[in-house]
Amino acid sequence: MKTITVISKGFTSTCLLLMSLLGLCFIAILTFNGTISKMSYPLRKPLIGSIFGSICVLGTLSAVFPSKCSRIFHFKTENGRRTSNVAEPISLRGKNLQLRGHHPDCGNFSAHVFLVSDRIFCAGCVGLALGAVFSLLGTFLYFFANLSLNDGYYFVFWVGFIGVACGLLQYHVFRFKRSLIHMFLNSGFVLGASLLLVGADAITSSLSTAVYILALDIFWIYARIELSRWNHGMICDNCGLEKCPYYLRRRL
């Protein structure tokens, strides 16, 4: 039964990754096929900028307060009732093992967290928050301050394309063991989405293309969360510590 569950979750994560990458490639096709007519709507850029800025703000809040903005990290007790994601510490070889934020306090997740002044931070969430902050700045400059890209919009587009692709592939392909790289990839994922939108808008001036990218941004956020959960589950399954609350959540 456990093997079937693992295969099912792996298949789902792979499908999400492929759908995300196909959507990314389709953006390039829409942007460079040359058949989309440029239409000048007076409120096009402020509308696009406002929607994307709202996504960045909500994403930043979710990254800074993951336990408050999300219920996906809650755990079930033995009687089926739900508890908070801060579990009671358990003893493991003389060390108390507990959950901090949404990562177990164990060495298997060392690539996902880093320590600052005795405080543990999630590298992925910090990276997402930093990327969202820089994206907000870029969104304001282009969509509201009318920053001109001159001939650099192709470069902006492809940098964004690579940033999003690397962010999506980080769990299946790269799997770096350093939290700093993990943070950088997640920051590049969000910043890449903003550069992709800016570059595509500068090239096409198409409201429909921008709406498609915005919708895909929301799907990418969902896909990234699910890919992260799958990766965390694989780490716990390979460990298999029966009394770890994070591992128990995988089985319930």
pLDDT for res 139? 93
Rounded CA gap, 252 and 241, in Å? 15
pLDDT for res 80? 40
Q: Which residue has the tokens 């295969």?
A: 7
Q: Is 64 exposed, middle or buried (0-12, 13-18, 19+ CB in 10 A)?
A: middle
Rounded CA gap, 107 and 245, in Å? 15
Rounded CA gap, 10 and 159, in Å? 29
Rounded CA gap, 224 and 188, in Å? 13
pTM for this entry: 0.80
pLDDT for res 41? 77
Which token pair is 23? 């959507």
Cβ count near 221 (within 10 Å):
18
pLDDT for res 115? 76
Give the residue among 24, 55, 40, 52 at the shortest CA–CA distance from 204: 40
pLDDT for res 114? 77
pLDDT for res 78? 38
Rounded CA gap, 178 and 181, in Å? 6
Angle ∠(68,72,77) on CA atoms, nearest 5: 100
pLDDT for res 72? 42
pLDDT for res 5? 54
Angle between helix 179-204 and helix 207-239 axes, rounded to 10 deg: 160
pLDDT for res 82? 36
pLDDT by 10-residue block (mean), the chain, 252 residues: 57 91 95 72 90 91 63 39 40 52 69 76 88 94 90 94 94 78 93 96 90 95 88 75 55 44
CB 106 within 8 A of CB 97: yes
pLDDT for res 121? 80
pLDDT for res 241? 62
Which token pair is 167? 């962010």
